[in-house]
Structure 1
Amino acid sequence: MALAPGETSETFIREVDENLRRDQAEAVFKRYGKWFAAAAILLLIAVGAYLFWKNQQAERAAEGSEQFAAILTDVGTGKTGTDIDQRLDALAKDSTGSLSGAARLTSAAVALQKSDRAAAIAQYRQVMDDGDVPQAVRDTATIRLTQLEFDSLQPQQVIDRLQPLAVKDSAWYGSAGELTALAMIKANRRREAGVLLASIAAAKDVPAPIRGRAEQLASTLSIPAAPAAVPPAPAAR
Protein backbone atom coordinates (compact mmCIF):
# COMPACT_ATOMS: atom_id res chain seq x y z
CA MET A 1 0.00 0.00 0.00
CA ALA A 2 1.45 3.37 -1.03
CA LEU A 3 1.96 5.99 1.65
CA ALA A 4 0.32 9.37 1.38
CA PRO A 5 2.60 12.31 0.68
CA GLY A 6 4.45 13.36 3.87
CA GLU A 7 3.40 10.19 5.69
CA THR A 8 6.13 8.04 7.18
CA SER A 9 5.93 4.34 7.79
CA GLU A 10 5.82 5.02 11.53
CA THR A 11 2.79 7.31 11.15
CA PHE A 12 1.07 4.74 8.97
CA ILE A 13 1.65 1.97 11.50
CA ARG A 14 0.28 4.13 14.33
CA GLU A 15 -2.89 4.95 12.38
CA VAL A 16 -3.42 1.29 11.57
CA ASP A 17 -2.95 0.42 15.23
CA GLU A 18 -5.44 3.09 16.32
CA ASN A 19 -8.01 1.87 13.79
CA LEU A 20 -7.53 -1.68 15.00
CA ARG A 21 -8.01 -0.64 18.64
CA ARG A 22 -11.14 1.32 17.73
CA ASP A 23 -12.57 -1.67 15.85
CA GLN A 24 -11.79 -3.92 18.83
CA ALA A 25 -13.40 -1.47 21.27
CA GLU A 26 -16.53 -1.27 19.13
CA ALA A 27 -16.72 -5.05 18.98
CA VAL A 28 -16.33 -5.33 22.78
CA PHE A 29 -18.97 -2.66 23.39
CA LYS A 30 -21.41 -4.37 20.99
CA ARG A 31 -20.88 -7.62 22.85
CA TYR A 32 -20.79 -6.36 26.47
CA GLY A 33 -22.34 -2.89 26.24
CA LYS A 34 -25.60 -3.96 27.87
CA TRP A 35 -23.71 -5.45 30.81
CA PHE A 36 -21.69 -2.25 31.26
CA ALA A 37 -24.88 -0.18 31.21
CA ALA A 38 -26.57 -2.52 33.71
CA ALA A 39 -23.56 -2.34 36.04
CA ALA A 40 -23.59 1.45 35.88
CA ILE A 41 -27.30 1.55 36.70
CA LEU A 42 -26.82 -0.84 39.64
CA LEU A 43 -24.01 1.36 40.95
CA LEU A 44 -26.23 4.43 40.79
CA ILE A 45 -29.02 2.55 42.57
CA ALA A 46 -26.63 1.39 45.30
CA VAL A 47 -25.27 4.90 45.84
CA GLY A 48 -28.78 6.33 45.92
CA ALA A 49 -29.95 3.67 48.38
CA TYR A 50 -26.99 4.39 50.67
CA LEU A 51 -27.66 8.14 50.63
CA PHE A 52 -31.34 7.52 51.33
CA TRP A 53 -30.43 5.23 54.24
CA LYS A 54 -28.08 7.85 55.70
CA ASN A 55 -30.78 10.48 55.41
CA GLN A 56 -33.31 8.20 57.09
CA GLN A 57 -30.87 7.50 59.91
CA ALA A 58 -30.31 11.23 60.45
CA GLU A 59 -34.07 11.89 60.44
CA ARG A 60 -34.71 9.04 62.88
CA ALA A 61 -31.94 10.30 65.16
CA ALA A 62 -33.39 13.81 65.13
CA GLU A 63 -36.89 12.48 65.77
CA GLY A 64 -35.63 10.27 68.60
CA SER A 65 -33.81 13.18 70.22
CA GLU A 66 -36.98 15.25 70.15
CA GLN A 67 -38.93 12.40 71.73
CA PHE A 68 -36.30 11.98 74.44
CA ALA A 69 -36.30 15.71 75.20
CA ALA A 70 -40.09 15.62 75.55
CA ILE A 71 -39.87 12.64 77.92
CA LEU A 72 -37.26 14.38 80.08
CA THR A 73 -39.50 17.45 80.25
CA ASP A 74 -42.40 15.31 81.47
CA VAL A 75 -40.22 13.49 84.00
CA GLY A 76 -38.95 16.85 85.23
CA THR A 77 -42.52 17.89 86.00
CA GLY A 78 -43.03 14.77 88.11
CA LYS A 79 -44.65 12.44 85.59
CA THR A 80 -43.47 8.86 86.21
CA GLY A 81 -46.51 6.82 85.25
CA THR A 82 -46.98 3.91 82.88
CA ASP A 83 -47.04 6.23 79.88
CA ILE A 84 -43.47 7.37 80.60
CA ASP A 85 -42.30 3.77 80.97
CA GLN A 86 -43.88 2.80 77.64
CA ARG A 87 -42.40 5.78 75.80
CA LEU A 88 -38.93 5.14 77.20
CA ASP A 89 -39.15 1.45 76.37
CA ALA A 90 -40.24 2.18 72.79
CA LEU A 91 -37.47 4.76 72.35
CA ALA A 92 -34.85 2.34 73.67
CA LYS A 93 -35.98 -0.36 71.23
CA ASP A 94 -36.27 1.94 68.21
CA SER A 95 -32.95 3.71 68.78
CA THR A 96 -29.32 2.67 68.84
CA GLY A 97 -26.11 3.80 70.49
CA SER A 98 -26.14 6.71 72.94
CA LEU A 99 -29.85 7.48 72.56
CA SER A 100 -30.90 3.92 73.34
CA GLY A 101 -28.55 3.82 76.32
CA ALA A 102 -29.76 7.19 77.62
CA ALA A 103 -33.39 6.05 77.39
CA ARG A 104 -32.57 2.93 79.41
CA LEU A 105 -30.64 4.92 82.03
CA THR A 106 -33.64 7.20 82.35
CA SER A 107 -35.91 4.18 82.77
CA ALA A 108 -33.74 3.05 85.68
CA ALA A 109 -33.86 6.52 87.25
CA VAL A 110 -37.66 6.61 86.91
CA ALA A 111 -37.86 3.18 88.53
CA LEU A 112 -35.89 4.52 91.49
CA GLN A 113 -38.26 7.47 91.78
CA LYS A 114 -41.06 4.92 92.12
CA SER A 115 -38.99 3.01 94.73
CA ASP A 116 -38.62 0.03 92.40
CA ARG A 117 -35.01 -0.68 93.32
CA ALA A 118 -34.96 -4.15 91.75
CA ALA A 119 -36.08 -2.83 88.35
CA ALA A 120 -33.47 -0.07 88.46
CA ILE A 121 -30.68 -2.51 89.32
CA ALA A 122 -31.73 -4.86 86.52
CA GLN A 123 -31.79 -1.99 84.00
CA TYR A 124 -28.39 -0.64 85.05
CA ARG A 125 -26.87 -4.11 84.88
CA GLN A 126 -28.20 -4.68 81.34
CA VAL A 127 -26.74 -1.38 80.15
CA MET A 128 -23.41 -2.05 81.87
CA ASP A 129 -23.09 -5.40 80.08
CA ASP A 130 -24.35 -4.20 76.68
CA GLY A 131 -21.46 -3.92 74.24
CA ASP A 132 -23.66 -2.18 71.66
CA VAL A 133 -23.90 1.07 73.62
CA PRO A 134 -21.01 3.56 73.92
CA GLN A 135 -18.51 3.02 76.71
CA ALA A 136 -19.42 6.33 78.38
CA VAL A 137 -23.02 5.13 78.80
CA ARG A 138 -21.84 1.78 80.15
CA ASP A 139 -19.55 3.56 82.63
CA THR A 140 -22.48 5.65 83.87
CA ALA A 141 -24.50 2.48 84.44
CA THR A 142 -21.55 0.89 86.25
CA ILE A 143 -21.29 3.76 88.72
CA ARG A 144 -25.03 3.88 89.41
CA LEU A 145 -25.28 0.09 89.76
CA THR A 146 -22.38 0.00 92.20
CA GLN A 147 -23.93 2.77 94.30
CA LEU A 148 -27.15 0.77 94.57
CA GLU A 149 -25.44 -2.55 95.27
CA PHE A 150 -22.66 -1.23 97.51
CA ASP A 151 -24.02 -2.61 100.78
CA SER A 152 -24.61 -6.08 99.29
CA LEU A 153 -21.21 -6.42 97.60
CA GLN A 154 -17.95 -7.53 99.12
CA PRO A 155 -15.38 -4.70 99.28
CA GLN A 156 -13.11 -6.40 96.78
CA GLN A 157 -16.00 -6.76 94.33
CA VAL A 158 -16.50 -3.00 94.42
CA ILE A 159 -12.78 -2.35 94.02
CA ASP A 160 -12.44 -4.76 91.10
CA ARG A 161 -15.51 -3.47 89.26
CA LEU A 162 -14.47 0.17 89.54
CA GLN A 163 -10.75 -0.31 88.98
CA PRO A 164 -10.82 0.92 85.32
CA LEU A 165 -12.71 4.07 86.38
CA ALA A 166 -10.92 4.93 89.64
CA VAL A 167 -7.88 6.36 87.85
CA LYS A 168 -6.87 9.99 87.45
CA ASP A 169 -7.41 10.21 83.69
CA SER A 170 -10.97 8.86 83.97
CA ALA A 171 -13.98 11.16 83.76
CA TRP A 172 -15.40 9.13 86.66
CA TYR A 173 -12.33 9.43 88.89
CA GLY A 174 -14.22 11.29 91.61
CA SER A 175 -17.27 9.03 91.89
CA ALA A 176 -15.44 5.75 91.25
CA GLY A 177 -12.58 6.75 93.53
CA GLU A 178 -14.94 7.73 96.34
CA LEU A 179 -16.76 4.38 96.19
CA THR A 180 -13.44 2.55 95.99
CA ALA A 181 -12.15 4.39 99.07
CA LEU A 182 -15.32 3.50 101.00
CA ALA A 183 -14.83 -0.15 100.04
CA MET A 184 -11.21 0.04 101.22
CA ILE A 185 -12.34 1.45 104.57
CA LYS A 186 -14.87 -1.37 104.81
CA ALA A 187 -12.00 -3.83 104.19
CA ASN A 188 -9.87 -2.10 106.87
CA ARG A 189 -7.43 -0.74 104.27
CA ARG A 190 -7.56 2.72 105.81
CA ARG A 191 -4.16 3.93 104.70
CA GLU A 192 -4.88 3.14 101.03
CA ALA A 193 -8.28 4.78 101.36
CA GLY A 194 -6.73 7.91 102.86
CA VAL A 195 -4.19 8.23 100.06
CA LEU A 196 -6.92 7.85 97.44
CA LEU A 197 -9.22 10.35 99.15
CA ALA A 198 -6.42 12.90 99.45
CA SER A 199 -5.74 12.51 95.73
CA ILE A 200 -9.42 13.03 94.90
CA ALA A 201 -9.60 16.11 97.13
CA ALA A 202 -6.64 17.62 95.28
CA ALA A 203 -7.90 16.81 91.77
CA LYS A 204 -9.14 20.01 90.12
CA ASP A 205 -11.14 18.10 87.48
CA VAL A 206 -13.29 16.40 90.12
CA PRO A 207 -16.58 18.19 90.96
CA ALA A 208 -16.37 20.35 94.07
CA PRO A 209 -18.97 18.41 96.14
CA ILE A 210 -17.02 15.16 95.69
CA ARG A 211 -13.72 16.90 96.52
CA GLY A 212 -15.29 18.30 99.67
CA ARG A 213 -16.60 14.91 100.80
CA ALA A 214 -13.25 13.28 100.05
CA GLU A 215 -11.41 15.90 102.14
CA GLN A 216 -13.79 15.49 105.08
CA LEU A 217 -13.62 11.71 104.96
CA ALA A 218 -9.84 11.71 104.69
CA SER A 219 -9.63 13.88 107.79
CA THR A 220 -11.51 11.26 109.83
CA LEU A 221 -8.95 8.58 109.04
CA SER A 222 -6.02 8.36 111.44
CA ILE A 223 -3.10 8.03 109.04
CA PRO A 224 0.24 8.53 110.78
CA ALA A 225 2.39 11.25 109.27
CA ALA A 226 5.98 10.57 108.34
CA PRO A 227 8.32 10.97 111.35
CA ALA A 228 10.00 14.36 111.54
CA ALA A 229 13.72 14.47 110.89
CA VAL A 230 15.81 14.65 114.10
CA PRO A 231 18.30 17.56 113.93
CA PRO A 232 21.92 16.56 114.42
CA ALA A 233 23.42 17.15 117.85
CA PRO A 234 25.70 20.18 118.10
CA ALA A 235 29.37 19.38 117.83
CA ALA A 236 31.28 19.36 121.11
CA ARG A 237 33.75 22.21 121.58
Structure 2
Amino acid sequence: MDAGRAMSDESIFREVDEAIRQDQLKVLLRKYGLLVLGGAVAIVAGVGGYKFWNYWTAQQASDAGGRFVGAVTLLRDGKNAEAIEVFKSLADEGPSGYRRLARFRLAAVYAKDGKIAEAINIYDKLAADSGLDKIQQGFAVIQAATLRLDDAPFDEMNKRLKALAVTGNPWRHSARELLGLSAYRAGNRAVAERYFNVMLGDQQTPANMRRRAEMMLSLLVQSTGAPAPAGN
Protein backbone atom coordinates (compact mmCIF):
# COMPACT_ATOMS: atom_id res chain seq x y z
CA MET A 1 0.00 0.00 0.00
CA ASP A 2 1.49 3.33 -1.06
CA ALA A 3 1.70 6.36 1.19
CA GLY A 4 -1.14 8.17 -0.58
CA ARG A 5 -3.48 5.23 -0.13
CA ALA A 6 -2.53 4.91 3.55
CA MET A 7 -3.22 8.58 4.18
CA SER A 8 -6.56 8.26 2.39
CA ASP A 9 -7.55 5.28 4.51
CA GLU A 10 -6.55 7.11 7.69
CA SER A 11 -8.65 10.08 6.63
CA ILE A 12 -11.63 7.85 5.97
CA PHE A 13 -11.20 6.13 9.33
CA ARG A 14 -11.06 9.49 11.06
CA GLU A 15 -14.20 10.63 9.26
CA VAL A 16 -16.01 7.39 10.11
CA ASP A 17 -14.85 7.66 13.71
CA GLU A 18 -16.02 11.25 13.87
CA ALA A 19 -19.36 10.29 12.33
CA ILE A 20 -19.80 7.53 14.88
CA ARG A 21 -18.99 9.96 17.66
CA GLN A 22 -21.51 12.42 16.26
CA ASP A 23 -24.13 9.69 16.01
CA GLN A 24 -23.44 8.70 19.59
CA LEU A 25 -23.76 12.32 20.61
CA LYS A 26 -27.10 12.54 18.80
CA VAL A 27 -28.28 9.42 20.61
CA LEU A 28 -27.17 10.86 23.93
CA LEU A 29 -28.89 14.13 23.18
CA ARG A 30 -32.08 12.33 22.16
CA LYS A 31 -31.94 10.20 25.30
CA TYR A 32 -30.79 12.80 27.82
CA GLY A 33 -31.45 16.08 26.06
CA LEU A 34 -34.42 17.05 28.23
CA LEU A 35 -32.52 16.15 31.36
CA VAL A 36 -29.53 18.21 30.28
CA LEU A 37 -31.80 21.08 29.37
CA GLY A 38 -33.71 20.65 32.60
CA GLY A 39 -30.47 20.68 34.54
CA ALA A 40 -29.39 23.86 32.84
CA VAL A 41 -32.75 25.46 33.57
CA ALA A 42 -32.53 24.27 37.17
CA ILE A 43 -29.09 25.85 37.52
CA VAL A 44 -30.33 29.11 36.05
CA ALA A 45 -33.44 28.96 38.22
CA GLY A 46 -31.27 28.20 41.24
CA VAL A 47 -29.06 31.20 40.58
CA GLY A 48 -32.10 33.34 39.89
CA GLY A 49 -33.86 32.02 42.98
CA TYR A 50 -30.81 32.74 45.11
CA LYS A 51 -30.63 36.28 43.79
CA PHE A 52 -34.35 36.72 44.33
CA TRP A 53 -34.06 35.35 47.88
CA ASN A 54 -31.24 37.77 48.62
CA TYR A 55 -33.29 40.63 47.20
CA TRP A 56 -36.41 39.56 49.09
CA THR A 57 -34.63 39.17 52.43
CA ALA A 58 -32.84 42.49 51.94
CA GLN A 59 -36.16 44.13 51.12
CA GLN A 60 -37.79 42.55 54.17
CA ALA A 61 -34.93 43.70 56.37
CA SER A 62 -35.17 47.19 54.91
CA ASP A 63 -38.91 47.33 55.55
CA ALA A 64 -38.46 45.94 59.07
CA GLY A 65 -35.69 48.45 59.74
CA GLY A 66 -37.96 51.29 58.71
CA ARG A 67 -40.73 50.03 60.96
CA PHE A 68 -38.32 49.58 63.86
CA VAL A 69 -36.97 53.12 63.53
CA GLY A 70 -40.54 54.36 63.26
CA ALA A 71 -41.44 52.61 66.52
CA VAL A 72 -38.43 54.14 68.26
CA THR A 73 -39.60 57.55 67.04
CA LEU A 74 -43.05 56.84 68.46
CA LEU A 75 -41.44 56.09 71.82
CA ARG A 76 -39.53 59.34 71.69
CA ASP A 77 -42.80 61.14 71.02
CA GLY A 78 -44.43 59.48 74.01
CA LYS A 79 -46.68 57.24 71.92
CA ASN A 80 -45.81 54.07 73.78
CA ALA A 81 -48.99 52.16 72.97
CA GLU A 82 -48.48 52.63 69.23
CA ALA A 83 -44.80 51.74 69.49
CA ILE A 84 -45.64 48.58 71.41
CA GLU A 85 -47.95 47.42 68.63
CA VAL A 86 -45.19 47.86 66.05
CA PHE A 87 -42.65 46.05 68.22
CA LYS A 88 -45.14 43.23 68.79
CA SER A 89 -45.70 42.87 65.07
CA LEU A 90 -41.96 42.79 64.37
CA ALA A 91 -41.40 40.34 67.22
CA ASP A 92 -43.96 37.98 65.68
CA GLU A 93 -43.41 38.42 61.95
CA GLY A 94 -40.20 40.34 61.25
CA PRO A 95 -36.91 38.94 59.92
CA SER A 96 -35.06 36.96 62.59
CA GLY A 97 -32.67 39.75 63.56
CA TYR A 98 -35.41 42.33 63.91
CA ARG A 99 -37.67 39.83 65.71
CA ARG A 100 -35.13 39.52 68.49
CA LEU A 101 -34.28 43.21 68.49
CA ALA A 102 -37.98 44.06 68.75
CA ARG A 103 -38.39 41.64 71.66
CA PHE A 104 -35.53 43.30 73.53
CA ARG A 105 -37.04 46.72 72.93
CA LEU A 106 -40.54 45.53 73.81
CA ALA A 107 -39.30 44.13 77.12
CA ALA A 108 -37.58 47.45 77.89
CA VAL A 109 -40.79 49.38 77.16
CA TYR A 110 -42.82 47.03 79.36
CA ALA A 111 -40.31 47.47 82.18
CA LYS A 112 -40.44 51.25 81.88
CA ASP A 113 -44.25 51.14 81.89
CA GLY A 114 -44.25 49.06 85.07
CA LYS A 115 -45.32 45.83 83.36
CA ILE A 116 -42.57 43.92 85.11
CA ALA A 117 -43.97 40.41 84.73
CA GLU A 118 -44.37 40.87 80.97
CA ALA A 119 -40.84 42.25 80.66
CA ILE A 120 -39.29 39.42 82.68
CA ASN A 121 -41.18 36.85 80.62
CA ILE A 122 -39.69 38.23 77.40
CA TYR A 123 -36.18 38.49 78.84
CA ASP A 124 -36.33 34.92 80.14
CA LYS A 125 -37.32 33.67 76.68
CA LEU A 126 -34.51 35.66 75.09
CA ALA A 127 -32.05 34.24 77.62
CA ALA A 128 -33.08 30.74 76.50
CA ASP A 129 -32.99 31.58 72.78
CA SER A 130 -30.23 29.46 71.23
CA GLY A 131 -30.27 31.73 68.19
CA LEU A 132 -28.69 34.49 70.27
CA ASP A 133 -25.01 34.58 71.12
CA LYS A 134 -23.76 34.31 74.69
CA ILE A 135 -23.39 38.06 75.13
CA GLN A 136 -26.98 38.71 74.04
CA GLN A 137 -28.28 35.87 76.19
CA GLY A 138 -26.29 37.21 79.13
CA PHE A 139 -27.74 40.67 78.63
CA ALA A 140 -31.25 39.19 78.80
CA VAL A 141 -30.34 37.33 82.01
CA ILE A 142 -28.99 40.52 83.61
CA GLN A 143 -32.08 42.52 82.64
CA ALA A 144 -34.47 39.91 84.04
CA ALA A 145 -32.45 39.59 87.25
CA THR A 146 -32.36 43.36 87.69
CA LEU A 147 -36.15 43.45 87.49
CA ARG A 148 -36.39 40.59 90.01
CA LEU A 149 -33.92 42.08 92.50
CA ASP A 150 -36.50 43.67 94.80
CA ASP A 151 -38.67 40.57 95.13
CA ALA A 152 -36.70 37.42 94.36
CA PRO A 153 -35.09 35.35 97.12
CA PHE A 154 -31.32 35.03 96.96
CA ASP A 155 -31.53 31.40 95.82
CA GLU A 156 -33.42 32.45 92.70
CA MET A 157 -30.97 35.25 91.97
CA ASN A 158 -28.06 32.90 92.49
CA LYS A 159 -29.59 30.41 90.06
CA ARG A 160 -30.04 33.13 87.46
CA LEU A 161 -26.65 34.78 87.81
CA LYS A 162 -24.07 32.36 89.18
CA ALA A 163 -22.92 31.21 85.73
CA LEU A 164 -22.32 34.82 84.68
CA ALA A 165 -20.37 35.80 87.80
CA VAL A 166 -17.31 33.73 86.92
CA THR A 167 -13.94 35.16 85.89
CA GLY A 168 -13.78 36.00 82.22
CA ASN A 169 -17.50 36.32 81.62
CA PRO A 170 -18.26 39.75 80.08
CA TRP A 171 -21.31 40.12 82.35
CA ARG A 172 -19.50 39.15 85.57
CA HIS A 173 -19.40 42.68 86.98
CA SER A 174 -23.17 43.17 86.74
CA ALA A 175 -23.84 39.62 87.95
CA ARG A 176 -21.58 40.05 90.99
CA GLU A 177 -23.14 43.37 91.90
CA LEU A 178 -26.66 41.98 91.66
CA LEU A 179 -25.70 38.92 93.71
CA GLY A 180 -24.07 41.13 96.34
CA LEU A 181 -27.14 43.34 96.55
CA SER A 182 -29.46 40.34 96.70
CA ALA A 183 -27.41 38.78 99.49
CA TYR A 184 -27.45 42.10 101.35
CA ARG A 185 -31.23 42.30 101.06
CA ALA A 186 -31.51 38.72 102.31
CA GLY A 187 -29.36 39.54 105.35
CA ASN A 188 -26.56 37.27 104.13
CA ARG A 189 -23.77 39.64 105.02
CA ALA A 190 -20.86 37.27 104.43
CA VAL A 191 -21.93 36.47 100.87
CA ALA A 192 -22.64 40.13 100.15
CA GLU A 193 -19.16 41.14 101.33
CA ARG A 194 -17.57 38.35 99.33
CA TYR A 195 -19.12 39.53 96.07
CA PHE A 196 -18.32 43.19 96.70
CA ASN A 197 -14.73 42.30 97.58
CA VAL A 198 -14.44 40.20 94.42
CA MET A 199 -15.58 43.25 92.47
CA LEU A 200 -12.86 45.36 94.07
CA GLY A 201 -10.27 42.68 93.38
CA ASP A 202 -11.09 42.56 89.68
CA GLN A 203 -9.01 45.21 87.92
CA GLN A 204 -11.52 45.34 85.08
CA THR A 205 -14.50 46.25 87.25
CA PRO A 206 -15.89 49.54 85.85
CA ALA A 207 -15.21 52.59 88.00
CA ASN A 208 -18.86 53.31 88.76
CA MET A 209 -19.45 49.72 89.91
CA ARG A 210 -16.26 49.81 91.97
CA ARG A 211 -17.50 52.92 93.77
CA ARG A 212 -20.83 51.26 94.52
CA ALA A 213 -19.06 48.15 95.84
CA GLU A 214 -16.93 50.32 98.14
CA MET A 215 -20.06 52.11 99.33
CA MET A 216 -21.83 48.82 100.08
CA LEU A 217 -18.82 47.46 101.97
CA SER A 218 -18.65 50.67 103.99
CA LEU A 219 -22.34 50.35 104.75
CA LEU A 220 -21.89 46.75 105.86
CA VAL A 221 -19.01 47.67 108.16
CA GLN A 222 -20.92 50.60 109.66
CA SER A 223 -23.93 48.43 110.35
CA THR A 224 -21.95 45.85 112.34
CA GLY A 225 -18.70 47.53 113.28
CA ALA A 226 -16.40 44.93 111.70
CA PRO A 227 -15.96 43.03 108.45
CA ALA A 228 -17.75 39.72 108.27
CA PRO A 229 -15.79 36.47 107.99
CA ALA A 230 -15.56 34.94 104.52
CA GLY A 231 -18.61 32.90 103.62
CA ASN A 232 -20.29 31.08 100.73
Do these two structures clear the TM 0.5 threshold for a shared fold by scoring above it?
yes
Count the aligned residue pairs. 223
Q: CA RMSD in A?
A: 3.4
Cα deviation, residue 104, structure 1: 1.5
Q: Is the 8 A contact 1:166 1:176 kept in 2?
A: yes
Other-structure match for 1:231:
none
TM-score (norm 1): 0.76
Cα deviation, residue 61, structure 1: 1.4
Residue 136 in 1 paired to residue 135 in 2?
yes
Other-structure match for 1:180:
179
Q: Is the 8 A contact 1:98 1:137 kept in 2?
A: no
* 178-187 or 67-76, larger mean C-alpha shift: 178-187
Q: Is the 8 A contact 1:97 1:134 kept in 2?
A: no
Paired with 2:2 and 2:165, the residues of 1 have a C-alpha distance of 92
C-alpha change, 1:115 and 1:151, in structure 2 (3 Å) is closer
Paired with 2:16 and 2:176, the residues of 1 have a C-alpha distance of 83
Alignment of 1:50-61 (within 5 A): 50-61=50-61
Paired with 2:123 and 2:51, the residues of 1 have a C-alpha distance of 36
Other-structure match for 1:197:
196
Q: Is the 8 A contact 1:88 1:104 kept in 2?
A: yes
Cα deviation, residue 116, structure 1: 2.1
C-alpha change, 1:115 and 1:195, in structure 2 (3 Å) is closer
Cα deviation, residue 3, structure 1: 7.5
Other-structure match for 1:25:
25
Q: Which amino acid aligns with 2:48?
A: G
Residue 147 in 1 paired to residue 146 in 2?
yes
Paired with 1:169 and 1:10, the residues of 2 have a C-alpha distance of 80
Gaps of 5+ in 1: 226-237
* 11-20 or 89-98, larger mean C-alpha shift: 11-20
Cα deviation, residue 95, structure 1: 1.8
Cα deviation, residue 110, structure 1: 1.6
Q: Which amino acid aligns with 1:44?
A: V
Q: Is the 8 A contact 1:129 1:138 kept in 2?
A: yes
C-alpha change, 1:197 and 1:130, in structure 2 (3 Å) is same
Q: Which amino acid aligns with 1:139?
A: G
C-alpha change, 1:44 and 1:134, in structure 2 (3 Å) is same
Superposed CA offset, 1:30-66 (max 9, x none): 2211221112112211221121111211222122223
Alignment of 1:73-88 (within 5 A): 73-80=73-80, 82-88=81-87
Cα deviation, residue 154, structure 1: 3.0
Paired with 2:183 and 2:77, the residues of 1 have a C-alpha distance of 39
Superposed CA offset, 1:126-146 (max 9, x none): 323333444433322211111
C-alpha change, 1:214 and 1:96, in structure 2 (3 Å) is farther
Paired with 1:206 and 1:70, the residues of 2 have a C-alpha distance of 36
Other-structure match for 2:161:
162
Other-structure match for 1:234:
none
C-alpha change, 1:68 and 1:2, in structure 2 (3 Å) is farther
Q: Is the 8 A contact 1:166 1:177 kept in 2?
A: yes
Paired with 2:188 and 2:90, the residues of 1 have a C-alpha distance of 45
C-alpha change, 1:179 and 1:22, in structure 2 (3 Å) is same
Paired with 2:103 and 2:213, the residues of 1 have a C-alpha distance of 30
Q: Is the 8 A contact 1:108 1:121 kept in 2?
A: yes
Gaps of 5+ in 2: 222-226
Q: Which amino acid aligns with 1:50?
A: Y
Cα deviation, residue 88, structure 1: 1.1
Paired with 1:11 and 1:216, the residues of 2 have a C-alpha distance of 102
* 177-186 or 84-93, larger mean C-alpha shift: 177-186
TM-score (norm 2): 0.77
Other-structure match for 1:112:
111
Superposed CA offset, 1:73-95 (max 9, x none): 33234332x21221111111222
Superposed CA offset, 1:84-118 (max 9, x none): 22111111122243421221222222222222222
